[in-house]
Structure 1
Amino acid sequence: MIPGALQGTESLPDASRPVPAEPIVPPRPNLGPEPWPDPAPGGEWAPVALALLIGLLAAGLGLGFRSRSRRRARRRAGGPGGDRGPSSRQSGSSPEDRRIRRAEVLRDALVNAFGPSWNAKTTEEIGADPALPARLGPEASARAVAILAEADRAKFAGPSAGPPADGGDEDDDDDRGLDGLLSSLAAPPADPGR
C-alpha cells in the first residue's frame, strides 16, 4: 500500500463512530402537482342543464301520477274513465267479472268507512272484525263477507264449471243488496261517542 494514497480520504467508519448522513436532494426543485386542465368552454352550464333536466323529469312524473289517480277516482265514481258501479253490466262481461267488480266497490266503501287499514285485510279478517257487525248489523255484515268471498272464488278458482248463468235476476238482487250495504256504510255510525 502506498502511504500517501490514503491522505485525501477518510478512514472507514467503525461501529463506535457513525458517519453523519447527508440529506438526499432531488436533482431539480419540486414544482408540486400538475395543474388541473382548463374546463371546457360552456362547462359551467352543465350543472344547470342537469338540474333543469331532473326538474322537468320530476314534473312529468308528477303529472303522470296525478292524471293516473284522477282516472282511478273517475272509475270509482263511475265517471267517463270506466264504469265500476255495481249495476253497470257491460255486454260480454262474465258473472265472475261482475262479482269481482261488486267486491271492489264494497272494499272501497269499507276503506272509506273504517280507514285505510281495511284495504290490507283479507276476507276472513273482515268477517272476524267486530266493527263490521257493529256498524251494519249481523245479517248485512254476513252478506258483505259473502260478496267478498264470492269474488275471491271468482278470482282464484277461475270460471265456474256449471252452465253459463244469465245472471239477470240474481245480479239485480246482488246489486240491490250491495246498494243497501253501500248506503249503510256511507251513513255516519249510529254510536257518535265511538
Structure 2
Amino acid sequence: MTPRVTQITEPPPGPTPPPTAEPVLPPRPNLGPEPWLDSSEGNGWGLVFLGLILLVALASGLWMRWRRNRRRAQLPESERGQNRPPAFPSPIDHRIRRAERLRDALITAFGPNWSAKTTEEIAADPALLTRLGPERSARVVAILADADRAKFAGSSSDERSEAPPEADDRELADLISTLTSPSTGPGR
C-alpha cells in the first residue's frame, strides 16, 4: 500500500468572485437547546430512594439492638455487668491515677522528652535529684514504681499497707507543687 499524496492546488489566476449576499445555512434545521427537565418529575424518585435508605438503616439498627439484648438476656445474671467499669475506683486505680498526675508534673517541669522515660530512667536522671533532693526524688520514684507494679502485676488486691489516701494526696500535691514551682534547688 502506498501512501496517498494530496496535491495542493492554487486558486486560478484572475480576480476572485465577489461574496454572495446569501446567508450560510447549516445542513439541517437548528432545533435549539434541549428542553429542561420538569423539576416535579425528578424529585419523586430521589425522595423514595432516600426514604428506602433511611428505612433500611432504621431496620438494621433495631435488629442489632434486638440481637444484643437477646444475647445479654441469655447470660447469667452474674456475668451481665462484667464489662462495665467499677462504680468506685479500686486502690490500684487510685495509685495509677496518682502516678499519671505525677508524670504530668514531671513533663511540665522538665520538658516533653520526659514523657517517654521509664521509671528506671527517671530514677537515674540527676535533674530530678537536683530539683527535689534525695528524699523527695526517692518518693517520686517509689510512687511511679508502685503504679508500674499495679499496672503490670495483674493482682487485684491491695497487698501493701500504706497511709490513708488523704495523706497520700497531700504528699502528692506537695510533690507536684515543688516540681512546678520555679525554684531549682533541692526542697523549697
Q: TM-score, normalised by structure 2?
A: 0.50
Cα displacement string for residues 136-190 of structure 1 (whole angstroms, at most 9, x for unaligned residues): 111000000000001101110123456798x8x5212211110110110111133
Alpha-carbon distance in structure 2 between the residues aligned to 1:163 and 1:150 = 11
| One of 91, 96, 102 as aligned partner of 1:106 | 102
Alpha-carbon distance in structure 1 between the residues aligned to 2:96 and 2:157 = 17
Query: Is 1:151 the equivalent of 2:147?
Result: yes
| Structure 2 match to 1:172 | 166
Alpha-carbon distance in structure 2 between the residues aligned to 1:144 and 1:160 = 23
Which residue type is aligned with residue 179 of structure 1? A
Alpha-carbon distance in structure 2 between the residues aligned to 1:164 and 1:120 = 28
| Structure 1 match to 2:92 | 96
Which residue type is aligned with residue 182 of structure 1? I
Which residue type is aligned with residue 176 of structure 1? R
Alpha-carbon distance in structure 2 between the residues aligned to 1:96 and 1:186 = 26
Alpha-carbon distance in structure 2 between the residues aligned to 1:135 and 1:161 = 34
Cα displacement string for residues 116-143 of structure 1 (whole angstroms, at most 9, x for unaligned residues): 0000000000000000010011100000
Query: Is 1:140 the equivalent of 2:136?
Result: yes
What number of residue pairs does the alignment pair up? 106
| Structure 2 match to 1:117 | 113
- Listed as ranges, the matches of 1:32-43 within 5 Å are none
RMSD after superposition:
2.7
Q: Call closer, same or farther: CA 1:163–1:146 in 2, change over 3 Å.
A: closer
Q: Call closer, same or farther: CA 1:146–1:162 in 2, change over 3 Å.
A: closer
Cα displacement string for residues 66-123 of structure 1 (whole angstroms, at most 9, x for unaligned residues): xxxxxxxxxxxxxxxxxxxxxxxx9510000000000000000000000000000000
Q: TM-score, normalised by structure 1?
A: 0.49
Alpha-carbon distance in structure 2 between the residues aligned to 1:93 and 1:27 = 93
Alpha-carbon distance in structure 2 between the residues aligned to 1:109 and 1:147 = 13
Secondary structure of the structure 2 residue equivalent to 1:109 = helix
Judge conservation of contact 2:92–2:158 (CA < 8 Å) in 1. Answer: no
Structure 2: stretches of 5+ with no match in the other structure: 7-85
Alpha-carbon distance in structure 2 between the residues aligned to 1:153 and 1:163 = 11
Alpha-carbon distance in structure 2 between the residues aligned to 1:190 and 1:122 = 23
Which residue type is aligned with residue 149 of structure 1? A
Which residue type is aligned with residue 176 of structure 2? L
| Structure 1 match to 2:175 | 181
Alpha-carbon distance in structure 2 between the residues aligned to 1:163 and 1:114 = 33
Determine what percentage of the aligned residue pairs are the same residue.
58
